[in-house]
Amino acid sequence: MKKSLLWVLTLCLVFGLGACKSKQSAYKAAYEKAKEKEVAVVEEEEEEAPATTTKAARPVTNATFQKESLQAVEGELKTFSVVIGSFQQKDNATRLKADYQAKGYTCAIAINTEKQMYRVIIGTFNNKNDAADLRDTVKEKHNLTDAWLLEKK
């Protein structure tokens, strides 16, 4: 008698908990509906956005520049540069330079004679802001987390 009562209670518990289970399709339908609303809002915002935007005058960047004494090996150097690679072997620097020139960048190679390191420079400027902007763009576009700013001594 006790065994059959235990079986009946177990079956009731299993069926009872199974009935409370949420349906995946209900969640999926709610998700799809929310996504449709989100897409509609984004499309409305894009339609309302003006066709042309003007850039506000920007303050001088507070980005950190590493100062080094450099000599240009290939290309020219201005005061502020964006470095995307540092190598002990010139051949490695030349390969990286060629890769980014093929992507449309004007690159240069410079050597830090104190450290005997070849620096691959993807852009060189007389303005700090321009260098900082290029560094940020390159980091985002090409996933170059090690790109850094260099100021020529």
135, 127 contact by CB (below 8 A) = no
Tens of pLDDT, residues 96-138 = 999 999 999 999 999 998 999 999 999 999 999 999 999 999 9
Q: Does pLDDT of 64 surpass 90?
A: no
Strands (E), the chain: 66-68, 71-74, 80-87, 108-112, 117-125, 148-152
- Give the domains, in start order, of the chain with CATH numbers: 66-152 (3.30.70.1070)
Q: Does pLDDT of 38 surpass 60?
A: yes
Gap between the Cα atoms of 77 and 84, Å rounded? 15
Q: Does pLDDT of 50 surpass 90?
A: no
Among 49-58, 78-87, 114-123, which stretch is predicted with the lowest mean pLDDT? 49-58
Strands 66-68 and 80-87: unpaired
Neighbours of 138 (CB within 10 A): 19
**With bands split at pLDDT 50, 70 and 90, how would you rate the model's confidence at 3?**
confident
Q: How far is CA 147 from CA 1, 19, 65, 87, in A?
A: 77, 57, 11, 13
∠ CA 23-25-26, nearest 5°, is 70
> Rounded mean pLDDT of 56-70?
76
At 128 the pLDDT is 93
| DSSP state string for 53-88 | --PPPPPPP----EEE--EEEES---SEEEEEEEES
What is the length of the chain?
153
- pTM of the full structure: 0.61
Q: Does pLDDT of 32 surpass 90?
A: no
> Rounded mean pLDDT of 44-56?
53
**With bands split at pLDDT 50, 70 and 90, how would you rate the model's confidence at 39?**
low
